[in-house]
Structure 1
């Protein structure tokens, strides 16, 4: 009954809003500070000429809500007082701006006009965040000219990585996959089907403003536990304006990457144009922008491949990094009594022992190109591939004012993003990265604002987003399995081959077709103003569909490890995965060729927000939000679950696979979570006697997105089989020469599906969603003090705290052998569900986190030719499950039965971070302070400098063993710490970033004692610069030349070293961020 009532309310009173507008409010008083009632207020846009009218209420207050970004003129008129006007009021996206007016006694025919910027102080809300103005967007050095890179300017946040489609950031201790991305007030992320990534990273010339809300934001905003990132596209004005531009990059302008043998080829052109203006002045406006990006960029592939001797089965010169021979043992000589094996004579595998399939596959490794960096042979292959992009982005908007009560806006976005990556391997089909991907996204927004009365306004938005995604490997439909003599798999692609310590072969995404993908977002908000209360109530509906034909491993995925050729008695520094491949002895193999999946999801939300002005100096923000995600379902019931208690008819042990729509089950295999209420509170206080000071504090609850991915739990609806060695490399699941065993043991959907008798090799691994699933959430609180320091500048000190519970973790195998049962022999039979392979819980909600950060900010908005933003954050971030995207590299769960021991520093813990940005118009030339006349003004004038400086400490990472000796089907086995492995900065090198002798492999069947994150990776120091020269022609034409340098000082910003003990690259850094690159541009505006 509760569900029916809530859903009825959602449909009957559909009232949400993720506003892309702002609010102007204030108090009108006389010279004695007495408030004036009935003052006629008129607000006029200086760009469009559109005017709005209101009157002050009994408390002398006025409010203009739902204002588009722009510059406004405010007029106040009342008999017995001089007409008063305030010009140059800049309304920003998502801001409640307060402008108080004092009227002077006199005749209405007399007037007082004041111009100047409105205060930067956030005196009306407790929201902590960062606003990025248009001047910053337009003039900052941005690689590829995409606005997502500007997210790194905020405090209390970490910019992880970004590209032309989806920046990744961690906001205020949240997870990088848990932001809400809004474009013009509506959803711009694939979030209803739980793939929370931004759909596209907008071009600079299409975006007006950006606002990042980090903590204590309004109940109007939800579906996010890691901040709200809102952007607005540009609109037309009463004047025609336009631009044409081109930016280019070329490898001749760039420096060589630290690890590259040469500069990779680069041809990168970004060009486009825009036109905007009135269709009917003061009533109808348009703006349209199109951009084309053509990129051919070299990608450095720094890998480890077999040597010429190893390619012949000769491991006589294969050693550890210390130069100790790595013996290779013959798995056929295993003695079950002593658990011993005999090494191959001379450490050479006779050709007569080669598996024909394994040997044929091994022949497709590329040959080394250079000497290795250590004695273990690491990084002996270095070659450039080319990544090709052909991006087209088109944005168009039309705004129309019907009358004083109604206005409408229609906006369309097309983002066409095909990519092609050329092979670096000699055989293109074997290259795991070589691929061809087609992506396309559309967005159609209709926004209507209606005024029922001066104090009651409604804002309605409808957004439809269809998309498509189709990646394919270069090996598709070439009959590769037959060429490799591999039987039992589809002939369509080159199989995926994972060989520990060596570069992989074949793609992990052999083919995928996602068409159609639909997101529909309906939002509506009603604003009501009553006395000191500004009320907003509303809700939203999101409907999502994803049709997915997933053929990741239709020709198989095979993993080869050290264990089959190691010494089972003392496995450390023994065995070689390539030797296991030559013998055709995989650790595991699986096939996945899915049926067509048609996944659906729905989301509902309701909210109420009251911004209550208790006094002229004190505002209270009160809100509550309710939201619910319906359980994801498949239109054809192609979903599986798992019942851990029902006895399996095949094995007689607990655990059966369940299926949607069968055996009394409905289409939804897990329960919905309908009790997600989120209170929000904020206080903003301007202490009397402290001019220009605002003290703010706030707190709230924020729920996260429920499930990542749209294609999980589809066992039974694919050509799928999984085989794994049952005893950690003693017994082969199959031999490559015999082909993949194929098929499921029990193909009928029912309790017997996929199961085998206890003691047999498992044939099925599966994932499932836990039935009693609850949404994860964060509780956030903040405290901040802002001080106006004049010249359009403020300083702010803020504290932000976040605690997370029930957070999504990585898919986790619950079919791990219990610690007390670990030991030698057939571990498969000791599993909780011995009839299956891995049984993985999808994104289990076990995670907890805590974040505490203090941020010091100085901000000067653009005035006097200068803007400046500086944020320094000192923070600590702890969690017990790794996030989907991290700067560091923290491993997954080692012991499923002891999750408390996973608590450690987060991979996104950046203890110290400083971000600085500025745009400075040099003060000479026409229209500026110095040398503003004559030829000197022409030559020296019009120069601007932009800079972005980022300094940050490294992030934590952990260490695991390359050979997992637990024999428990666990996550990565961690090392044992003998002493502190950290090295002083003076002793760190690329070849030895930490003390590799300070950790050892734990004894067999024993968990390592190392924490999840025990070391800190290299930090980041990066300076981007831009130099701009403007040439003015007449009153309206301007030609701008730009030169931008990224990593201008050409500092080698290293990434994490190898973290697997026993691997050739253990402790070795093999990658760095981009070296210095240059970008040149021309832009003509009018």
Structure 2
């Protein structure tokens, strides 16, 4: 069936595009009106537009109203010529066409002979958008080449656009090349990325999949609000990148950029000797080469870049055992839960686990009296050799905070290789054929507390894009594209040279010897602190996506009608959170009394639990080792009419329809819930043999999708552009539109990760008198890598995530109203009010609070299914209001800049696709009904940055030949002192909000504001934790403190670059570059990473953004 659909779609596109392939998201449009000297419209004027670099020309004739339009132009500089009998030939020598932008170039003819030519030497049009309400920014080649970029990734420049909030450390794990961009009040996962017209958005997290080298990018555009109906499945921004193409002249470059610790300031939190600082060395080098294959016809371009980095990560904080604690002596240990400084209570875990032993002295078996260890010194007989070996892996404490007495700086490694090859060809009829192949290798090792905790994050992505553009008759332009994207990505342990579980003495079965790596060991401390030893994974993803797109533009009178369709087929493989050697949790509870545990009292000590080898929880992977494959076919249809109502007013009327069903299990291995009976139900395609060992009740014959498809996703768009003075220098624009989001796999694919397929099963250690010891855990079978499902999941499916069958597609409503005006000295000012509202957005809750009756049915059907069922839920809302302004100046007289300021306020009931309520556990019991309820609190969003100002600029210093001073310097002096260019990027923004939590990750009661005055904020006490109370908040109640009410540190950053270009003849240039990132070495802190209020520790800051770093480089080009 799926193959039949593919063939039908392919035939449809071939008919619409005349069997042609092309790019759309990487092109621009030229429009204009031709008039006579009296201002009357001139029809039948021959307009010829020529690409200056390639010599490729396109021709069109003005219509009865004097209007002309050329679509699907490759970005670049063009020459415009206009001819009509009885008038002089007019020429505009250069206009710039940008990606995804409509450029207006009006022509005024002069009476005379056609053999006479008039050249317009001052094209004052600065490319103001006079045709539609789309907001955004074009990042030009000149800006890309000159700006100092810390990492040299193009996505860093998206932050120069008004309405874009970057640098959200809360979403850093899901960022694109380390950068997150929340656009127009939408989450960072709601963006779409296009490279040379190919959709390169990863369908797992919604991030950028592949990124070309900076020197291979010609320009890119960020669209932030009210883009064309052509675009869908992106409630945030649309980022379109155009790579460079070959020209009629051979050209190329070689470059190298270098950094090391000799040029850098020490991190703020580093207190060791300078000579002992972690290693930092970085080299980024590569080259480009392009030119003609056949002049004026066929061109090629190639780039390759290699990035090698070894750099310290953030300061890692943890807690380490003291010398006495390593010996089992807890007589001087701290019990932070005591208000009077009492010592921790230590009990014998092999007795305290017996329910009969409630408290010392209580009636019970005789051995209960031996439960408490009065001396607080563990006898040697209780010390487990495996627990001692694990403790020996932990470094010695080096900080005076008892809860976080360990601070570690370690260097990670990062490799990033990028390749691009591109070929363009123009036929005699001016149609164009193009193809590009983009390949990237990203490999990053994130350091942990010890080397066994290091994690390797990788992504290998490839994109193939083929295209053909043509004109059909005088009034139709056709553009079709095909692209294929595939990638392998994920994370896994970095140190896999041996089986460390076996070396440490874990009892895991002899067959496990071939499994390399370290078990994941998590030790819980106080105030929410925890420390992880070992790694997790692998977590592997494989993506295969191919798509077809057909766009047609039909011009009829004053109507320019755009319509088309796009089809996308996705095949995604996912191997989720496999714990090859298990995961083990150690906490206070195992060396505490049973009564204290039942009442959520915290005593005992985690290192006492570790030394005795008694785990709190154990996690095991089960199932097979094959990735769960999911598939989806989606289609989008659109039509848009850009109606030129008059010379001054243009209306934009569009409608888009998106059909995007949920991902479906390709092999039928899928489980969901029967929402009537409360019974787990397996897909009708599930092999019955896989289910025969399950020992819980279930049904078969279900669907292989997590929810039902939505078929009514119609998204209208309406806008206007009004030129009050009937020129291209002033415009008022506005509009309203709806954009539906794409459902990524992360929120919908968990039905394949339950018993008996694959997943993680967690057990709580509560065995009377014989708790599980780390050297003798649950036995396993002979299946390598995984635990047998009949043992680890015989009476429950495991950790379960589900979606309701009714799962409406989330969407955002966008609106804006603003004005743009061209000013003197080549400047343009723009100011807009921009708003958005999100509806039916993703979040999380539990079945017991979403549908208590159904949850009770689930427990009645399977009493052993005691773990809460997590729901990936819709129904969360957001809102955004902003004032966005910018002032730009094109490069003239040695100066150009973009200054942008945004005031914004973003509210959300959930800021993430993966967590609800700003990361808080907002679930509690309703005292009246006794049912669980989930509080949805509309509070500050994670990306609520109230004030953000950015400034990027280029200034040619006025010294040297051809400049104001030193024009007569001799060549030697000029070589040293002349010809320098200063570039800068400034970012100033207010802090992000964060959430304060109480015990058990619950919201506390807020009894005063909590935000300290700026003069009182310190890294040891960023907010007033005494303004929050957990008194009376038990396991089933939340306090009144909403999420994201404490404001984090501001960001003030200045990046500078100083460039000098040396010329050798007319074609060869050598550019010398020096760049300083965070040039003034301001300590830009990141908010507290724990935010628990048990003590002042929760208000402490331990992280910072990059300190000052210097980079030196060169670029040789010809």
Normalising by structure 2, report the TM-score.
0.87
User: Take 2:7 and 2:907, find their aligned partners in 1: how far apart are those partners?
Assistant: 38
Asked whether 1:157 is paired with 2:182, we answer no
Matched, 1:239 2:281: no
1:80 aligned partner: 86
What secondary structure is seen at the aligned counterpart in 2 of 1:148? helix
Instruction: Check if 1:400 corresponds to 2:425.
Output: yes
Match of 1:482 in 2: 502
SS at match of 2:156: helix
- Residue-pair matches, total: 1044
Which of 122, 144, 164 is matched with 1:137 structurally? 144
Residue 313 in 1 paired to residue 328 in 2?
yes
Show the counterpart of 2:633: 602
Corresponding residue number in structure 1 for 2:980: 943
- 1:616 to partner: Cα distance: 1.0
- Give the secondary-structure state (helix, strand or coil) at the position aligned to 1:765: coil
Pick one of 672, 676, 680 that aligns with 1:656: 680
Matching of residues 542-557 of structure 1 within 5 Å: 542-550=568-576, 552-557=578-583
Provide Cα deviations, 1:256-293, integer angstroms capped at 9, x if missing partner.
11112354211111111111111111111111111111
Counterpart CA distance in 2 for 1:792 and 1:840 is: 60
1:814 correspondence with 2:856: no
1:505 and 2:536 matched: no
Residues 356-371 of structure 1: pairs in structure 2 closer than 5 A: 357-368=386-397, 370-371=398-399
Structure 1 residue 793 corresponds to structure 2 residue 827: yes
Match of 1:281 among 273, 295, 308: 295
Could you tell me how far apart the structure 1 residues matched to 2:98 and 2:777 are? 64
TM-fit CA distance, 1:677 = 1.0
- 1:883 and 2:915 equivalent? no
Q: What is residue 916 of structure 1 aligned with on the other side?
A: 951
**Matches of 2:282 and 2:978 in 1, distance apart?**
30
Q: Contact 1:70/1:91 (CA < 8 Å) preserved in 2?
A: yes
Inter-CA distance 920–408: structure 2 relative to 1 (3 Å threshold): same
Secondary structure of residue in 2 paired with 1:224:
coil
SS of equivalent residue, structure 2 residue 1038:
coil
- What corresponds to 2:476 in structure 1? 456
CA distance in 2, matches of 1:580, 1:390: 40
Q: Secondary structure at the match of 1:33?
A: coil
Moved more, 243-252 or 446-455: 446-455
> Quick one: which of 1096, 1100, 1103 aligns to 1:1071?
1103
Deviation at 1:921, TM superposition (A): 1.3
Q: CA deviation at 1:844?
A: 2.0
Conserved? CA contact 2:577–2:760, under 8 Å? no
Report which stretch shifted further, 772-781 or 840-849.
840-849
Q: Are 1:1027 and 2:1064 counterparts?
A: no
Say yes or no: does 1:535 pair with 2:561. yes
Cα–Cα, structure 1 residues 1039 and 9, in superposed 2: closer, same or farther, change >3 Å? closer
* Residues 511-539 of structure 1: per-residue CA shift (max 9 Å, x gap): 2454x531212222111111111111111
* CA distance in 2: counterparts of 1:313 and 1:612, whole angstroms: 81
CA distance in 2: counterparts of 1:1033 and 1:414, whole angstroms: 34
Q: Offset at 1:25?
A: 0.5
Give 1:868 shift. Answer: 0.9
- What is the CA distance between 1:377 and its match in structure 2? 3.8
The structure with the largest helix share of the pair is 2
Give deviations 1:532-565, integer Å, cap 9, x for gaps. 1111111111122233444621221223334444
Matched, 1:955 2:992: yes
Evaluate the alpha carbon distance shift between residue 513 and residue 9 of structure 1 in structure 2; reply closer, same or farther with a 3 A threshold. Answer: closer
Q: 1:524 aligns with which of 550, 568, 572?
A: 550
Mapped pair 1:872 → 2:901: yes
Unaligned runs of 5+ in 2: 17-21, 361-370, 687-699, 926-931
* 1:89 lines up with 2:126 in the alignment: no
1:859 to 880, 888, 912: 888
1:19 and 2:25 aligned: yes
1:297, distance to aligned residue in structure 2 (A): 1.7
Counterpart residue number, 1:119: 126
Bigger Cα displacement from structure 2, 700-709 vs 230-239? 700-709
Give the deviation of 1:105 after TM superposition.
1.6
830 and 1007 in structure 1: CA distance in 2 versus 1, 3 angstrom threshold? farther
Contact in 2 for aligned 1:165/1:200 (Cα 8 Å): no
Q: Measure, in 1, the Cα distance between the counterparts of 2:375 and 2:810.
A: 56
Residues 1:620 and 2:651 aligned together: yes
Tell me: CA distance 1:564–1:995, structure 2 relative to 1, closer, same or farther (3 Å): farther
Indicate the SS of the match to 2:674: strand
1:721 Cα deviation (Å)? Answer: 5.5
Conserved 8 A contact 2:78-2:95: yes
Secondary structure class of the residue paired with 1:873: strand
Structure 1: distance between partners of 2:315 and 2:64:
70
Q: Is the 8 Å Cα contact of residues 58 and 430 (structure 2) preserved in structure 1? A: no
Residues in 2 aligned to 1:343 and 1:1007: alpha-carbon distance in whole angstroms: 33
- Cα distance in 1 between the residues matched to 2:1017 and 2:857: 43
TM-superposed deviation, 1:999: 2.0
Distance in 1 separating the partners of 2:524 and 2:250: 61
Structure 1 partner of 2:345: 328
Q: Corresponding residue for 1:649?
A: none
Q: Which of 960, 963, 975 is the aligned partner of 1:928? A: 963
Does structure 2 retain, via aligned residues, the 8 Å contact 1:856–1:871?
yes
Residues 1:889 and 1:851: Cα distance change in structure 2 (over 3 Å): same
Match of 1:168 in 2: 180
Residue pair 2:210, 2:438 contacting (<8 A) in 1 also: no
User: For residue 292 of structure 1, what is the aligned residue in structure 2?
Assistant: 306
Residue 814 (structure 1) shift: 2.7
Pick closer, same or farther for the CA change 1:988–1:934 going to 2, 3 Å: closer
| 2:732 match | 695
How has the CA–CA distance of structure 1 residues 9 and 58 changed in structure 2, closer, same or farther, with 3 Å as cutoff? farther
Give CA deviations for 1:749-807 in whole Å, capped at 9, x if unaligned.
Answer: 99x99574xxxxx6722223332222111111011111111222111111111110111
Inter-partner Cα distance in structure 2 for 1:538 and 1:954: 43
* 2:1005 aligned residue: 976
Would you say 1:680 and 2:712 are equivalent positions?
no
Residues 19 and 720 from structure 1, CA distance in 2 versus in 1: closer, same or farther, beyond 3 angstroms? closer
Aligned equivalents of 2:456, 2:165: Cα separation in 1: 31
- 2:923 & 2:305 partners in 1: Cα distance? 47
Q: For 1:204 and 1:816, how far apart are their aligned partners in 2?
A: 49
Distance in 2 of aligned mates of 1:207 and 1:770: 43
In the alignment, the residues of structure 2 paired with residue 576 and residue 815 of structure 1 have an alpha-carbon distance, to the nearest angstrom, of: 33
1:210–1:230 Cα contact (<8 Å) kept: yes
Give the gaps of 5 or more residues in structure 1.
Answer: 647-653, 757-761, 965-971
Residue 415 of structure 1 pairs with residue 434 of structure 2: no
- Give the superposition deviation at 1:958: 1.0
| CA–CA separation in structure 1 for the residues paired with 2:676 and 2:218 | 56
Distance 2:618 2:24 in 1: 47
Q: 1:114 to 1:763 in 2, by over 3 A?
A: closer
Q: C-alpha offsets along residues 545-600 of structure 1, whole Å, 9 cap, x if unaligned?
A: 23344462122122333444453487566443333434444443221245312222
Q: CA RMSD in A?
A: 3.5
Select between 15-24 and 893-902 the one with higher mean Cα deviation: 893-902
What is the aligned partner in structure 2 of residue 213 from structure 1?
223
CA 1:656–1:110 in 2, change beyond 3 Å: closer, same or farther? Answer: same
Alpha-carbon shift at residue 1064 of structure 1 (Å): 7.9
TM-score (norm 1): 0.90
Q: How far is the alpha carbon of 1:465 from its aligned partner?
A: 1.7
The answer to whether the 8 A contact 2:34-2:41 is kept is: yes
- Indicate the SS of the match to 1:352: helix
Alpha-carbon spacing, 1:693–1:833, altered in 2? closer, same or farther (3 Å): farther
